[in-house]
Amino acid sequence: MSQEKHFIWPHKDLLDVSQLSLEEVSHLLDTAEQFHEINQRPVKKVPTLKGKSVVLFFAEPSTRTKTSFDVAGKRLSADTFSLSSSSSSLTKGESLKDTALTLEAMNPDVIVLRHKANGASQFIAERLDCAVVNAGDGCHAHPTQAILDNFTLRRAWNNEYAGRTLLILGDVRHSRVARSNINLLTRQGVKVRLCAPRTLLPHTVHNWPVEIYHDLTKAVEGVDAVMCLRLQLERQQAGLLPELSEYARMFCLTGNHMEMAKEGAKILHPGPMNRGLEIASDLADCNESRVLNQVSAGVATRMAILYLHATRKDKGA
């Protein structure tokens, strides 16, 4: 990783994209491009983080994020150890702080944390010496998802963000993915639109640098990409939605909608997808879908994130 001779990564932790300058984001994505190339080789493992250890502490269920961090660590030759809330002492009444301190006493280089509480990653990062990477905290932030989405769009848009328009569609109210993407993309010059039922928008949305729509037909006109969100039924209170069939009728992205977008407009979804509810099944699999590209990007960008944070101390920072 020759770039590191000229760029010293300044952050102990990755808690939110708001802490990153655009220069740092660009450097992270450039680093991910190198790892993406490695992931295309017949032999995908490199000794970059040999001897380093990464703890995957997921107190909420996860498939894509947890697996991609595990794959990322292993491809860098790090030792990865997985822990869930059901298999930790949290089920016995131990506090998050004490669990984190116990893990740090084992001297890991990075702890990757997913937790249902807003600010959980910052809480432990302030108390631990090892690097902490936020893999999603409540409805607050999901920086690594925003970074992999950014990587996906950078490739689709030839690294030209300014003047592009992105529609984020669906359950914005409960989406940490939407919040992190809005923060990063608007700073890069992307015009962001939101489309959702009024009940699925946060109360503070009118203070955000976005355009708000409730009619999907109008919201999709002329956009360069659409990012569908998962309908997070597990986070919602009764009364926020009509019948699911009514939601699908009004807010499920279909081919008819995409005919009003710009030619070649890309389709993204952080997963898992509820086909026929959030996105039509044929769109999820069409040529302009970047859903599987997002999965590949997740491995490459998380390799870059682990590399930059696990080796920071080695560079005298």
Which residues participate in the annotated binding site? Answer: 64-65, 92, 114, 142, 145, 176, 230, 271-272
Supply 72's token pair: 């990322």
Among the listed residues 156, 191, 182, the one whose alpha carbon sits nearest the alpha carbon of residue 266: 156
The answer to whether the Cα torsion of 98, 128, 48, 271 is positive or negative is positive
| Whole-number Å distance between alpha carbons of 268 and 285 | 11
Supply 236's token pair: 């919602």
Query: Residues at the annotated binding site for L-aspartate?
Result: 92, 176, 230
**22 and 187 in contact (C-beta within 8 Å)?**
yes
**45 and 35 in contact (C-beta within 8 Å)?**
no
- Residue 114 to residues 22, 24, 180: CA-CA distances in angstroms? 25, 23, 15
**195 and 172 in contact (C-beta within 8 Å)?**
no
Query: Residues at the annotated binding site for carbamoyl phosphate?
Result: 64-65, 114, 142, 145, 271-272
